[in-house]
Chains A and B, each alone.
Chain A
Amino acid sequence: MTEKPTMPGPTMIEFRDVQKYYGDYHALRGITAEIRAGEFFSLLGPSGCGKTTLLRTIAGFESISSGVVLIDGKDMAQVPANQRPTNMVFQSYAIFPHLTVAENVGFGLRREAGSREDKARRVTEALEMVGLKGYGARAAHALSGGQRQRVALARALILKPKVLLLDEPLSALDKKMRENMQVELIKLQRQVGITFILVTHDQEEALVMSDRIAVMFEGQIAQLDDPETLYRRPKTRQVADFIGTMNFLPAEVAAQTNEGYSVDVAGLGRCEITEAQAPGAPTGGPASVGFRPETLTILYEGQTTSDRVSEGTVEEVVYYGDMTYYDVKLDGIDTPVRLSMRNLPGRPVLDIRTRTRVSWSPGALVLFR
């Protein structure tokens, strides 16, 4: 999570009912959103959801069929890609193979004013910023994946854009490298203070790095929120399912109360759910509730709780080292629910077919339409 205090700056990018057709295919279906200056913003979604198309409309590589894209208050309709105040880190990094590292980083400086020495100094500084000091004279094609990415970053940031666009920049790196680069990117963004817009299909990456995330499905933004709200209060089952793991149980809204809803949940009984736990604004009738694996706790021998308790049988155990995931079939529910426990001292890993008690709280449930 980002510890950075959220400073809601002025609007940097605004989409007003942006539509995009490729022939008959409706790629963007009415995108309306605002991205604030200085924000680390992520477009998250499965492949084909339109997130890359949306990013490319900001860069100017895609024209839009209708609607308006504003960058820093200016309509971009007539502004070609090479005149927009944006720079991009491409998924393939797009490092020019015929140039050296320094020539790559300095590529965009040709059009800027300034002496040769001044530009060379800026290139050196940019390389230093991304941790590639002394690599300037190397041939670009002799770099590793992580180094290429740093060159791509330096090449984009040296031009001091208002917005930096990142198209799945970490997807080609291995896990360890990716985690390091995530932290480095966050630090870099705080250091330069530029608006970063990241496209990713990796929900974990989006949660770790972003100030706010727009979750997209089929050309529409399903939910736009900060990572915590998105994780704890997803508006739809689709969003809940895409971000992290969530258990779903069928439910019936029995009554609307002053505070929220009285819901009959299959296998768990009557639960009182607050308005805040139902961001999707359900009406009466059939619905479903969801809960995250970590909101359920196994009660070991002699442990007591003020929460509600259900009993069940362990059906599957998945050991992760620091965590263990259990699939537990609770009495009265057909499908097993998944729960996670930290492996602390005094918490033995349970065996399959063990009978166990599980505590849960109605306050951790999310009600879906």
Chain B
Amino acid sequence: MSIGGLFSRIGRSEAASGLAMISPPAIYAILLLAAPLVTILLYSFLTDGYLEIIRQFTLCNYFGPCGTYKMVEGELVQQAQFKGAWSDPLFLTVMLRSLYVSLGVTIATVFLSFPVAYFVSFHVEPSKKSLWLFLITIPFWTSYLIRVFLWKVILGYNGVINSALLGLGIIDEPLQVINYNVGAVIVTLAHAYAPFAILPIFVALEKIDRSLLEAGQDLGESSFTTFLRVTLPLAMPGVVAAVLIVFIPTIGDFVTPQLVGGPEGRLVANLIQLQYLKLDNYPLGSAMAVSAMAVVTAVSLCFLFLNRRFLRGPQS
């Protein structure tokens, strides 16, 4: 059959043409997202071997003492012992810290982004809005790594903040509390993810019919109470999207904690990286990754559930 004949056949059925249209991205997504995820899930239930993975089902990577084995004449011989993810106090501590850092980053980012989005949506002339959005995305023109390094320069021992404060005579010796800790991680990540929070909130604010705000005032509310009773509830879908967009990736970030976090600022992604690269323990690394994903999913679902009344579609 000729190519033209194939296309005309596809064009005839709406379902077929729909499938034809989504298949390239679908195949791409399956190969590059679903397949690695399934692989990691499978690894997390296999036994760690010495420089290999032994295809024997186990739950010990998640719960309880686990070991590295070696095949010796058809028998598994234990070479070393390690703790499963959920029985390892280190993992639990780091997981909790990751949650705390991600929540901190999310709250800081969304709280700082909302006024920016509000300003652009409500106080910038319509003809200048796209310029403002363009300016907001400018930080993305430099690589993520470079932006993190810039924060190192700003927060460092001889950095911008310390030199400025020293120069002004406010401090006598450089502050060490501003770098290489959890706070520095939060500051850096909040800056990096700001545009991701600004854009969905901006879109939600743009969709608000301005006559609703006049109606609020007409019915006796001040600008501030109109904001609380009308603008904020209507902007919530954007806020929820911003929270998820910031929260989910920050919990898996390992570059920023590595560079500005110091020893106390390491997060769960650094731990996973350690298992995979340094310790060559793919099953435990996979179990940690799956556990972290489960925690993120659970927190996100709780958050969505709490905000369900703002997310009802107009059809319901």
> What residues make up the interface of A, taking CB atoms closer than 8 Å to B?
59-61, 80-83, 86-88, 90-92, 94, 96-98, 107-108, 110-111, 139, 141, 155-156, 159
- Asked if A94 and B211 sit within 8 Å, CB to CB, the answer is yes
Q: Is the CB of B310 within 8 A of A98?
A: yes
Q: Is B212 an interface residue (CB 8 A)?
A: yes
**A97 & B217 in contact (Cβ 8 Å cutoff):** no
B167 at interface, CB cutoff 8 A: no
Mostly, the B contact residues are: helix
Residue among B219, B222, B316 having the largest count of chain A Cβ atoms under 10 Å: B219
Bound CA span A80–B225, Å: 14
Across the interface, do B209 and A94 meet the contact criterion of CB distance under 8 Å?
Answer: yes
Pair B212/A96 contact, Cβ less than 8 Å? yes
B309 to chain A: closest residue by CB: A98
The verdict on B218 contacting chain A, using a C-beta distance below 8 Å, is yes
Q: Which of A86, A91, A97, A108 contacts B234 (CB 8 A)?
A: A97
Kindly identify, within residues 194 to 234 of chain B, every residue whose CB is under 8 Å from any CB belonging to chain A.
209, 211-212, 214-222, 229-230, 233-234
A–B complex contacts, Cβ < 8 Å, 10 sampled: A59-B214, A82-B218, A92-B209, A94-B209, A94-B211, A98-B310, A107-B219, A107-B229, A108-B219, A139-B312
| CB–CB A94/B212 < 8 A | yes
A90 contacts B211, C-beta separation under 8 Å = yes
Kindly state the separation between the CA atoms of A159 and B312 in the bound complex, as whole angstroms: 29
Min CB gap A285→B, angstroms: 50
Question: Interface size (B, Cβ < 8 Å)?
Answer: 20
- A94→B220 contact, CB < 8 A: no
- Flag whether B5 is at the interface (Cβ < 8 A): no
Contact present for B214 and A81 (CB under 8 Å): yes
Extra 17 A-B pairs, beta carbons < 8 Å, given A59-B218, A61-B214, A98-B233: A80-B217, A81-B218, A82-B219, A87-B218, A90-B211, A90-B215, A91-B211, A94-B211, A94-B212, A94-B214, A97-B234, A97-B314, A111-B220, A111-B221, A155-B219, A159-B219, A159-B220
In contact, A82 and B310 (Cβ under 8 angstroms): no
Bound complex: CA A92 to CA B215 (Å): 11
Instruction: Sort A-B residue pairs by CB-CB distance and give the 9 closest, nearest first.
Output: A108-B219, A94-B215, A94-B211, A81-B217, A82-B217, A141-B314, A90-B211, A98-B233, A88-B218
- Collect the chain B residues with CB atoms within 8 Å of residue A86's CB: 218
* In the complex, chain A residues whose CB is within 8 Å of the CB of B212: 94, 96
- What separation, in Å, do the CA atoms of A87 and B229 have in the docked complex? 18
Q: How far is the CA of A87 from the CA of B215 in the complex (A)?
A: 9
Residues of B within 8 A of A90 (CB): 211, 214-215
Supposing A96-B230, A97-B234, A98-B233 touch, asked if A82 and B211 sit within 8 A by C-beta, the answer is no
- Minimum C-beta distance from B42 to chain A (A): 44
Task: Report Cα–Cα, A91/B310, bound state, in Å.
Answer: 26
Contacting residues, chain A, for B230 (C-beta < 8 A): 96
Give A59's nearest chain B residue, CB to CB.
B218
Contacts of B312 in A (CB 8 A): 139
* Nearest-Cβ distance from residue A253 to partner chain B, whole angstroms: 50
Q: Name B234's closest neighbour in chain A (CB-CB).
A: A98
Residue of A nearest to B211 (CB): A94
A108 to B221, CA, bound (A): 8
Bound complex: CA A98 to CA B312 (Å) = 9
Task: Please report the C-alpha to C-alpha distance between residue A364 and residue B211 in the assembled complex, in whole angstroms.
Answer: 46
With A94-B209, A97-B314, A141-B314 known as contacts, the answer to whether A88 contacts B215 (CB < 8 A) is: yes
Query: Do A96 and B217 touch across chains, with their CB atoms under 8 A apart?
Result: no
Closest chain B CB from A3 CB (angstroms): 32
Chain B residues near A91: list those with CB within 8 A.
211
Q: Is the CB of A82 within 8 A of B222?
A: yes
CA distance A282 to B310 in the complex (A): 64
**How far apart sit A80 and B221, CA to CA, in the bound complex (Å)?**
10
What residue of chain B has the Cβ atom nearest to residue A112's Cβ? B220
Q: Could you say which residues of chain B place their CB within 8 Å of the CB of A83?
A: 220
Give bound CA distance, A88 to B216, whole Å: 11
Chain A residues with Cβ below 8 Å from B215 are: 88, 90, 94, 96
Cβ < 8 Å to A, chain B residues 283-316: 310, 312, 314, 316
Could you tell me the distance between the alpha carbons of A99 and B219 in the complex, rounded to whole angstroms?
15
Determine the distance from Cα of A92 to Cα of B239 in the docked complex, in whole angstroms.
Answer: 26
**CA distance in complex: A281, B52 (Å):** 106
Which residues of the other chain, B, contact A96 by a CB distance below 8 angstroms? 212, 215, 230
What residues on A are CB-neighbors of B316 within 8 Å?
Answer: 139
Per the bound structure, the CA–CA distance linking A60 and B220 in Å amounts to 12
List, in ascending order, chain A residues with CB within 8 A of B233's CB: 98
Rounded to whole angstroms, the CA-CA distance of A108 and B226 in the bound complex is 11
- B residues near A59, Cβ cutoff 8 Å: 214, 218
CB distance from A228 to the nearest CB of B (A): 33
Across the two chains, which residue of chain A brings its CB closest to B226?
Answer: A82
Q: Which residues of B contact A82 (CB under 8 A)?
A: 217-222
Contacts of B220 in A (CB 8 A): 82-83, 108, 110-111, 159
Chain A residues near B216 (CB-CB < 8 A): 107
* Residues of A with C-beta under 8 A to B214: 59, 61, 81, 88, 90, 94
Bound Cα distance A172, B166 (Å): 66
Rounded to whole Å, the gap between the CB of A101 and the closest CB of chain B is 15
Q: Which residues from chain B contact A94 at a C-beta distance below 8 Å?
A: 209, 211-212, 214-215
Closest Cβ of chain A: how far from B16's Cβ, in Å? 35
- Complex: A91 Cα to B209 Cα, angstroms: 12
List the B side residues contacting A87 at CB < 8 Å: 218-219
Chain B residues within 8 Å of A80, by CB: 217, 222
How distant is the Cα of A232 from the Cα of B234 in the complex, in angstroms?
A: 50
Bound Cα distance A94, B209 (Å): 7
Tell me the minimal C-beta distance from A367 to chain B in angstroms: 44
CA distance A47 to B220 in the complex (A): 29
A139 and B314 CA atoms in complex are apart in Å by: 9
Render B105-124 as a binary contact track against A, CB cut-off 8 A, 1 for contact: 00000000000000000000
Please name all residues of chain B whose beta carbon is closer than 8 Å to the beta carbon of A98 when the two chains form the complex: 233-234, 310
CB distance from B217 to the nearest CB of A (A): 5
Q: CA of A82 to CA of B218 in the docked complex: distance in angstroms?
A: 5
Q: In the assembled complex, how far is the CB of residue B309 from the closest CB belonging to chain A, in whole angstroms? A: 8
Query: What distance in Å separates the Cβ of A165 from its nearest Cβ neighbour in chain B?
Result: 8
